[in-house]
Amino acid sequence: MTHTDPDPTDRSHSVRLDAQDPLAALRHEFVLPAGVIYLDGNSLGALPRATAERVDRVVRAEWGVDLIRSWNSAGWVDLAQRIGDKIAPLVGAGPGQLIVSDSTTVNLYKVLNSAIALAPGADPARRVIVSERSNFPTDLYIADSVARAHGWSLELVETEALAGPLDPRTGILMLTHVNYRTGRMHDMTALTRAAHAAGALAVWDLAHSAGAVPVDLIGSQADFAVGCGYKYLNGGPGAPAFVWAHPRHTQRMDQEQLRQPLSGWFGHAAPFEFTHDYRPAAGIRRFACGTPPMLSMAALECGVDVFERTAGHGGIAALRTKSIALCELFITLVESRCTGHGLQLVTPRDAAQRGSQVSLAHPHGHAIMQALIERGVIGDFRAGTPDGQGESGHLLRFGFTPLYTRYTDVWDAVQHLVDVMDSGVWREARFAQRHAVT
């Protein structure tokens, strides 16, 4: 380091970065409690300032005064598509191609069933859904139930195996773009291309990607995608999710009158005709199902609307640039200041292979995280899985949301981590107690 090089271990360096941050004003769009450093937006995004007033208006005026008329007067009937069109640019989709509906889990059930119906070829041997062993459990549960229902099977592989050719028995490759445990980000274009070369379809879960990293669904030629509304999109706990299908598939479904398996009335071509026969709506609207939850939908729109304010500052590309810088600062500080405490970096160092989180492994990760939370540094913990990772797989996860995370937040969080590790306070018995949600 020369005398002119900035020293990232000096807090003044982070202060300067915050002062130069073109996205700094976006932090004021959120309610962030004093004394809290929130690094868990990859699990639940912070509350946008506009949300409480908007939900109150829906409750008091639209529901309380206009009552059922609000389906028309307040535009409730079109809200799912309107929000979908706002999310679409964040994931590389076009207008009318993405819709908000149900949960990520339910949407995955819909698209896997649809993918099986559309799977190329009639080879009875091509009846395997392939996913990685470390994928989010609910995705694997749903994939297994769908596979069993259709006489298919689910096969799990290690992440490294995805670099090789897919088994010719593969009909569907189902992956989460950014791994929820490690933060590793897949090359969507390359893996989709590999799936197509093997004669399979590619289904992507964008739960840890949408709103945090650039995604190009159309450019990558992905087949189906689902995503979460309450993480980086800041839609609130249990916010509705979204679903996308490539236009080539929705066009074929239109032509062949193929249905997704949950034929709810909001997926009908004319739901208010109240006919006894089901006619699926055209395009992505066929993937809607039951009545949209208006309070949650209104909250989600407030979260998504914040992204429109990034347009003059580089949009999702600028968010990605800041995300990379935040993560790299955190990694640098941990590795320079927490040596000798057994913290192991699990997240890839290469930014091109990393989402917007950093995971550190430690046998006592839970207690360490609880000690940090008591100090106001909120991340989360994921236990080692039963497939051989054991205690070495206990992870402290830190999510970096560039809309509201500051560089000084990163510096201060690491300072708290240093204090927790140096003092050994995490060894106190109260930090070993586990709650229902970790």
Residue ranges of domains in the chain, CATH in brackets: 11-31+315-432 (3.90.1150.10), 53-306 (3.40.640.10)
Please tell me the number of Cα atoms within 13 Å of 44 on its side-chain side: 11
- Which pLDDT belongs to residue 121? 55
In the residue annotation, 397 being an active-site residue is answered as: yes
pLDDT for res 123: 67
- Annotated active-site residue 349? The verdict is no
Amino acid letter for position 382: R
Instruction: Give the pLDDT of residue 437.
Output: 83
Q: Which of 21, 40, 205, 223 is catalytic?
A: 205
State the catalytic residue, choosing from 224, 230, 266, 431: 230
Spot the catalytic one: 30, 38, 136, 400. 136
Catalytic residue among 231, 285, 286, 406: 231
Quick check: 394 and 383 in contact, CB under 8 A? yes
User: How many other CB atoms are there within 10 angstroms of residue 66's CB atom?
Assistant: 14
Residue 242: active-site member = no
Distant-in-sequence, close-in-space partners of 324: CB < 8 Å, separation ≥ 6: 351, 354
Q: What is the pTM of this model?
A: 0.95
Contact 306, 27 (CB under 8 A): no
Task: Please say if 231 is a catalytic residue.
Answer: yes
The ranges of the chain with pLDDT < 50 are 1, 386, 388
Can you give the pLDDT at residue 389?
Answer: 56
pLDDT at res. 4: 59
Beta-sheet strands, E only, within 312-386? 344-345, 357-361, 377-378, 380-382
> Are the C-beta atoms of residues 209 and 231 closer than 8 Å to each other?
no
Q: Residue 384: its pLDDT value, please?
A: 84
136 catalytically annotated: yes
The rounded mean pLDDT for the chain is 94
Report yes or no: 210 and 188 within 8 Å, Cβ to Cβ. no
The DSSP call for residue 60 is I
- Say which of 397, 404, 406, 407 is annotated catalytic: 397
